[in-house]
Amino acid sequence: MTSPAPRGRRNVRKRIRQRRLPMRYLLPSLLLVALLAMLMLRGYVHSEILADHRIQPPAATDQVPEAILGGGPVIDARSTTRPAGSLRIPDHRIVLTFDDGPDPEWTPKVLDELRKHHAHGVFFVTGTMASRYPDLVRRMVDEGHEVGLHTFDHPDLSYQSHSRIDWELSQNQLALAGAAGIRTSLFRPPYSSFADAMDNKSWPVTRYVGSRGYLTVVNDTDSEDWKRPGVPAIIERATPEGGKGAVILMHDSGGNRSQTVAALGEFLPRMQQRGYEFTNLTTALGAPSAHTPVTGFALWKGKAFVQAVDLSENVTGVLVAGLAVIGVLVLVRFGLMLLLSFLHARRVRRRDFSWGPALTRPVSVLVPAYNERECIANTVRSLVVSDHPVEIIVIDDGSTDGTADIVEAMRLPRVRVIRQRNAGKPAALNNGIAHARHDIVVMMDGDTVFEPATVRELVQPFADPRVGAVAGNAKVGNRDSLIGAWQHIEYVMGFNLDRRMYDVLRCMPTIPGAVGAFRKEALDRIGGMSEDTLAEDTDVTMALHRDGWQVVYAENARAWTEAPESVQQLWSQRYRWSYGTMQAIWKHRRAVVERGPSGRFGRVGLPFVALFMVVAPLLAPLIDVFLLYGLVFGPTQKTVLAWLGVLAVQAVCAAYAFRLDRERMTHLISLPLQQILYRQLMYVVLLQSWITALTGGRLRWQKLRRTGVVEAPGALPGRPRPSSDRRPVA
């Protein structure tokens, strides 16, 4: 007898297992969170997040000390015991200052000119640029230049609170620590100019920054190089009068700085000939260096930040490039799909189109079934009323719900039941092929129903002796739920429109298990249905291509299948499909280097399938991640227009597919919601399949729960079912 305590512990463990987040959700979620984090970091260092681009208009100056307004360009407000003062640069000394860098194009050229003429200067760097280009900051320090802070993302500090100012300074120092292992005591406010331009809005900021231990450096000579007035004008405006010392403002970033670089090439030697020395600020003032080495945790923290920025830049850069490439390929595919689908429909719908003499001889229909009690009666009834002579073989694969008994009790003509131990769908189909009396075998699922004309339409292409297999038109029968409607769109657009294109390209990747026909000779030549993969339909189709057979699409061979009605069932089905498709691609990979029909399929069909069924969908979530980012931080209007443009292209393709299949357009109302919700589930399924494949995991066959509510138009009515048999959409 089991004691209460162990039973209680088992119940607790069971509840814990139920609450644990499944790995199939956890891993994709972690990857998406990591991607979003890198995107946010990239946006932060590109001044797209938390940036404030407001600029304060001029204000009164009555609160600014006269000593500051009439003083020099270096303001010392660090002392709490004496008034703030200012300093000037001694005569015949020039402190060249460069703002807004480092820039990967122009800063190296500026540094080259300074090194060429043995000159030094001060670079007031922003944290955003320093964290993205740390090597340039390191070069500045190594070549003897001083570095100052210019805030992290260049806001007007007169609008900011003390906490935001502290944040700007600390983040700027963090970037310097990670880039060059230093701290600096020099600071230049964004949008600053001369000392006499200090006003009641900017002066409190200068006092507060001084209280944090910084020298504030403005300028007394503005080259106005940012206006790009020409090299002579820059040199003229940068030249001090009467041999006086100066702090000269230039820029090594923020736009095209070719005129600045050219002006330096002339200005430096000219002023040196006049006896000027180009030096660092602290050297000119005879003060200790502004740089302090950073050690310990602060150094590692800075290095970690810079490395994180580098990782986010590289990863998001690659992803953006990959997304652009995939986006172009997808648009090309949409165009190709529309064009080739049009050509296919035009060809097969011509009045004089024919596969050859009408095929009227009997064929064998194989129905593999495992626990299909709810569906099997409707399936068999739909076959009995076929307008083409058929032999119906139901292969019961070890069902435990009486599936075979139901078929036998129906006592229908031309219906045989073959029982076998449970061995899987491929084994059941091979067993059926062995018992088939005719040279053409039609395969369908035990949850599918055919229209009376389906078999006849499906087998007509075999009048062409080159045809080895035919794909039918699988349709969703239970489309009255939201998930069913989404799958209906997917089947019509993503499957059947694709099959028209693949038919023209002669590289059909999959004969749907719900409705397909095969020449028995062709199956014998490739060894029948293989158990090597979980997608035996894709596997056998690829094998037929490699053996030289043509695989075509019969648009009027309609079959109505019961699509999964819950998220869990849909997950199980698509997980198996995705993983099985990867297995089939890997199994037939040698076709890429082979000759003849196998090589043609390997170099046309396999890359097409791998790119658009495995690789492109894996990158597609980037669209939604970048959409979310653009809506919150980027140009919202352009982002929305771009997304609507992509949706419009998909809507056009879907509408054309519905028109070709003569489907009602009303189901397309849910297309935008499908793109937002349903598509995400398919992405996660594919990602989980990748993880399973890469980790060497194995996936078992999974049986979906069926309700048996699907009936084909024109088929004999099945037994009535109470409405309570319908399972709600999860």
Q: How does DSSP classify residue 281?
A: H
Q: Which amino acid appears at position 219 of this protein?
A: N
How far apart CA 518 and CA 512 sit, in angstroms, is 12
How far apart CA 202 and CA 370 sit, in angstroms, is 79
Q: How does DSSP classify residue 667?
A: G
Residue positions counted in the chain? 730
Structure tokens that stand for 221 in this block: 């000579």
Least confident of 143-152, 195-204, 268-277, 661-670: 661-670
Q: Which amino acid appears at position 475 of this protein?
A: K
Query: What's the whole-number mean pLDDT along residues 26-43?
Result: 80
**β-pair partners for 416:** 393
Least confident of 14-23, 173-182, 364-373: 14-23
Least confident of 1-10, 31-40, 340-349, 441-450: 1-10
Query: What's the whole-number mean pLDDT along residues 432-445?
Result: 95
Question: At residue 711, does pLDDT exceed 80?
Answer: no
Q: What confidence score (pLDDT) does residue 1 get?
A: 47
Question: At residue 24, does pLDDT exceed 60?
Answer: no
How far apart CA 189 and CA 203 sit, in angstroms, is 11
Report yes or no: 623 and 323 within 8 Å, Cβ to Cβ.
yes
What confidence tens digit (pLDDT) does each residue in 502-551 have? 999 999 999 999 999 999 999 999 999 998 888 899 999 999 999 999 99
* Cα first-last separation, the chain: 39
Quickly state the pLDDT bin for 459 (edges 50, 70, 90).
very high
Query: What's the whole-number mean pLDDT along residues 444-450?
Result: 92
Q: What confidence score (pLDDT) does residue 713 get?
A: 58
Q: What confidence score (pLDDT) does residue 23 get?
A: 57
Instruction: Using alpha carbons, select from 233, 219, 186, 224 the residue that is nearest to residue 78.
Output: 186
Report yes or no: 468 and 549 within 8 Å, Cβ to Cβ.
yes
Least confident of 183-192, 246-255, 551-560, 685-694: 685-694
Q: What confidence score (pLDDT) does residue 94 get?
A: 97
Mean pLDDT for the chain overall:
87
Q: What is the DSSP string of 59-94?
A: ---TTS-HHHHTS-SEEE---SSS--EEE-PPTTEE
Q: How far is CA 366 from the centre of its chain?
A: 41
Instruction: Using alpha carbons, select from 552, 561, 512 the residue that is nearest to residue 382.
Output: 561
Q: What confidence score (pLDDT) does residue 723 get?
A: 37
Q: What confidence score (pLDDT) does residue 9 get?
A: 52
What confidence tens digit (pLDDT) does each residue in 262-303 have? 999 999 999 999 999 999 999 999 999 999 999 999 999 999
What confidence tens digit (pLDDT) does each residue in 185-228 have? 999 999 999 999 999 999 999 999 999 999 999 999 999 999 99
Question: At residue 716, does pLDDT exceed 70?
Answer: no
Residue that has been written with the tokens 């640029």 in this structure: 129
Question: At residue 314, does pLDDT exceed 70?
Answer: yes
- By annotation, the residues acting in catalysis are 99, 251
Query: What's the whole-number mean pLDDT along residues 642-650?
Result: 83
- Where is 538: in which H helix or E strand? helix 536-546
Report yes or no: 532 and 460 within 8 Å, Cβ to Cβ.
no
How far apart CA 193 and CA 75 sit, in angstroms, is 13
Q: How far is CA 213 from CA 78, 107, 316, 447, in A?
A: 5, 28, 37, 77
Query: What's the whole-number mean pLDDT along residues 468-489?
Result: 88
Query: What's the whole-number mean pLDDT along residues 310-319?
Result: 87
